Amino acid sequence: MNEIIPLLAEGGYKDLDLNFCEMMNPVSLLKEEDSAEPYILELLSLKEKYKLNYHQCHLPYTADFLSLSDNVKELHLKNIKLAIKYSERLGIKTLVIHPIKGSIEDNLCYFKRIIPSLKAGMMLAIENMEREDEIYSAEDLIVLADTLGTGICLDTGHANMMGLDIPAFIEKCGERLIATHIADNNGLEDQHMLPGFGNIDWENIIPAFRKHYSGFLNYEAMFYGRNLGKEQYGLVIDNSLKCAEFIFNL
């Protein structure tokens, strides 16, 4: 994050999502508070230098929480709680989190272990997933949000893979929708492309956002241009802004 933030800021971005999923790597400075301290201080310095708003983050996740050993479950929950601590220091208020594979009740039990760690003013945004054995529908997310007092994050790429009516999803969630992951794909793979590079019907989705949602449209398009060299990153950022200007003004 500390490498890409200056490029994004100099390219014109001011509102950023921080991705704590790097805590899922075998080695990460963020896994322990002591090793994370210089990293967090650098992120704070960049925030001040470029006058940035770290408006949301992505908390670490696991593919199948219920299948983990008790020890690994505790390590996962430790990482989430650490990410929440880092978010407080960085001024992040909206924390996007994946539901786990399993039932509504399984997810209620899971989130009840996390919510007490939230700081004042923070809210979880539970994300729709992309498989039948996961939480993906607006209806199930609404049950979780209303029961737990959380919000919802719409991932457009996931919704497209599940063949959802995305404008209807936006309308159903209403004010519960507090975060987004904006990405395009071919409907089969979670390709994390910029809008317009897949087959999502943005012409109907953007008016639904405009009518029912007042938050950020937050790119999660990290695979776009990932095979280009670092000397091309500026072009990728410029193109992403031009894409936003076109798509988000539909």
Query: Which domains are seen in the chain, by residue range?
Result: 4-247 (3.20.20.150)
Q: Is 19 strand, coil or helix?
A: strand
Q: Hey, what are 116's tokens?
A: 């007490």
Q: Which amino acid is at 12?
A: G
% the chain with pLDDT above 70: 100
pTM, two decimal places: 0.96
Q: In what order do the strands lie in the sheet with 15-19?
A: 15-19, 53-58, 94-97, 123-127, 151-155, 177-181
Encode pLDDT of 42-62 as tens digits. 999 999 999 999 999 999 999
Residue-averaged pLDDT of the chain: 95
How would you write 94-163 as a 3-class SS string? EEEECCCCCCHHHHHHHHHCCHHHCCCCCEEEEECCCCCCCCCCHHHHHHHHHHHCCEEEEEHHHHHHCC
**In whole angstroms, how far apart are CA 180 and each of 12, 128, 166, 229?**
20, 10, 12, 28
Token digits of residue 25: 């790597």
pLDDT given at position 232? 86
Q: What is the pLDDT of residues 212-244, one digit of tens each?
A: 999 999 999 988 877 887 788 888 899 999 998
What tens digit of pLDDT does each residue of 94-150 get?
999 999 999 999 999 999 999 999 999 999 999 999 999 999 999 999 999 999 999
Q: pLDDT at residue 3 above 80? A: yes
